[in-house]
Amino acid sequence: PLTLLGILFPILKGGVSPTTTATAIFAALSIATVTYLRTHGAGSVARKLLLTTASLLFYSAWRWPFTALLLFSTVLDFNCARAIHRAPDQRRRRLYLTISLIGNLGLLAFFKYTNFLLGALGDLLGIAGLHVAIGPLPIILPLGISFYTFQTLSYTIDVYRGQLDPRESVLDLALFVSFFPQLVAGPIVRASDFLPQLDEEHRWDSKRAKAGLLLMCQGMAKKLLVADTLAPIVNQAYSSPSLYSGVSLLVATYCFAFQIYCDFSGYSDIAIGAAQVLGFEIPLNFRRPYFATNITTFWRRWHISLSTWLRDYLYIPLGGNRHGTLRTYKNLMATMVLGGLWHGASYNFVIWGTIHGVALAAHKLMMSLRHQHTVTDTKHPFSWIIHTAITFHLVCITWVFFRAETFSKSIAIIHRIFLDSAGLMVPWLFPAVLIPALLVSDSLQSRTGIIDTIVKYPRLSRATVTICIAVMLAIVTSSKPSDFIYFVF
């Protein structure tokens, strides 16, 4: 009842958009009905049907015609997986996998990269002296298409590899593809992690539900109190970089580093928490990435569901590190460039991925050279601060290309940061200013410890949830929160 009241309160207060109202009603009814079904032991088919219907309604609240894309991917991969499993030889198995890849990646390429490719073609013609006007087509990017495309591909690929049996019911796959908590912005859930949970008996667990609610509140706190507070600073500086000094632009870049972390990890917390309330477990997506002491460790902690997906379904199939050093570096570069393009269709994302690919290859090279020579370890006791600072600033440099709207703005921002005489002094503030801020923001990320302790005590957990919901409602109804950054991907 407390959760339902918290969801419906903004509607009762007034001033909420029709879409928000519909979403709130949907969330309240979904949680209430699923809780009733699980508490009263209704059949699993009813629960699956309810969650699938609710998820499709949730997605259709954005633009209902695009729900057909979800259904198309579901039906395509359901039939391809069954065909792969029944195929008499490897050639036909590979054929059905190819059909799945072309169908899913073809849709993603059309909606996400058509205008980018047309623009690149226009640039090439311009370089050749042929000035042909190639205008962008009126294509709307479907919400969350990058996320659910990778999810559904994991299903057919795992069936092809023999790591997963195809489902007998299309309803199971439909729920997996459209599951609403993480549908539009991740984490990217794999079929092998989600589908087996549909075969389990779900009983109401009040402790797990409270932990999920607290995790949702934690995610909202990251989003509303940190990310949305930093957003105006970043937007103002990056919209007109020529008006600001190197110091201001560097501070804005630092702000964006924490904005995107709290924004994206905040959404992941909300998705994981909501799934927990509904009785499902979704893998962790962030693990204190800004404490990484090298770029390899950073990618093991940042957007974990994407980095592991790219590793298992792209880097390793390309050959990984099995065919020599040069081939390993090529595979790293290809994986990170494609990872950059996954985020967006622009030159800036290509550069962002390329820099990360070069950094990963350089770190791997340094590690291999280090292992070839026996060196006495004489690290300074505070060397972790130095390594963390270097890694953080490398990531911040790449964030400039990620955040800036155009390549020219990216170069202008980096130019002013490094060549403005005052700007060079700011990095020295990192240990004094950013480490405490990092400790505060990352303390919110811990899913063990404080949340588990609170959940152990019923009165404390109820009071904490009540206070958190009240604070979040006060913030939400007194201001207009900005969209989550990763909604555009």
Angle at 438 between CA 403 and CA 361, to 5 degrees: 60
Q: Whole-angstrom Cα distance, residue 345 to residue 117? A: 8
To the query of whether residue 343 is one of the catalytic residues in this protein, the response is yes
443: buried, middle or exposed (CB in 10 Å: 19+, 13-18, 0-12)? exposed
53-64 CB burial, b ≥16 within 10 A, e <16: ebbbbbbebeee
Which whole-number Å values give the CA distances from 330 to 40, 297, 371, in the listed order? 55, 20, 21
Structure token pair of residue 215: 């995790």
Distance of CA 28 to the CA centre of its chain: 25
Residue of 323, 343, 356, 371 marked active site: 343
Terminal alpha carbon distance of the chain: 34
Long-range contacts of 407-412, Cβ-Cβ distance < 8 Å, separation of 24 or more: 407/347, 407/348, 407/351, 409/238, 409/241, 410/348, 410/351, 412/241, 412/242
DSSP letter string, 237-277 = HHH-GGGS-HHHHHHHHHHHHHHHHHHHHHHHHHHHHHHHH
Rg of the chain over all Cα atoms, to the nearest angstrom: 24
- Non-local (6+) Cβ contacts of 246 within 8 A are 416, 417, 418, 419, 420, 421, 422, 423, 424, 426
Structure token pair of residue 103: 């169908």
Catalytic positions = 343
